Amino acid sequence: MSIVSCIAYGVLHDQITARICVEYFTIGHPIIIRTNDPTQLGIVWGVVATWWVGLLLGIPLAFAARLGPAPKRSARQLMRPMLMLMLFCGTCAILLGGVGFVLASNGWVVLVGDLKDRIPLNRHAYFITDLWAHCASYFFGFAGGIFLSVSTWRSRKALTVPSVV
């Protein structure tokens, strides 16, 4: 469930960011497929860049949901929290991508090194928008995954504590 959720998020995310700045995928990443088509790039990179995130998120979440004698959580019970995590990551990506765009448009954040020369100047702010959106998704995905695993574990433990009447 976690891998499928992350791939679905990644494909949707990359469908948007590939349309904001195709150069983020064609210049800023290794070539997987030779195309400038944002739909194809969004699908391929959406899968390649997120399946492993789903695996890294899913393993501790599965342990938190199933390990030990406390009442188990099923994949079905975790679907809503996983959806909420994906929505949270998407919201953070939109917000931080927007912040990156504003900062880059005002010259407060700039591309450096090889990318500065390889990305057309009029595309720098859009490239930074994508960069910040992607970084936000990874950061909040990992942080949110830790939070989700811990809260799942704690919610199971809370069910085993006898209530005092």
> Per-residue pLDDT tens for 118-162?
999 999 999 999 999 999 999 999 999 999 999 999 999 887 656
Q: What are phi and psi of 60, to 5 degrees?
A: -65, -30
C-beta separation of 82 from 58 below 8 A: no
- Give per-10-residue mean pLDDT for the chain (165 aa): 97 98 97 97 97 96 95 95 97 98 98 96 98 98 97 87 59
User: DSSP assignment, residue 123?
Assistant: G
Amino acid at 21: C
Separation between Cα atoms, residue 23 and residue 20, nearest integer Å: 9
Whole-model pTM: value is: 0.91
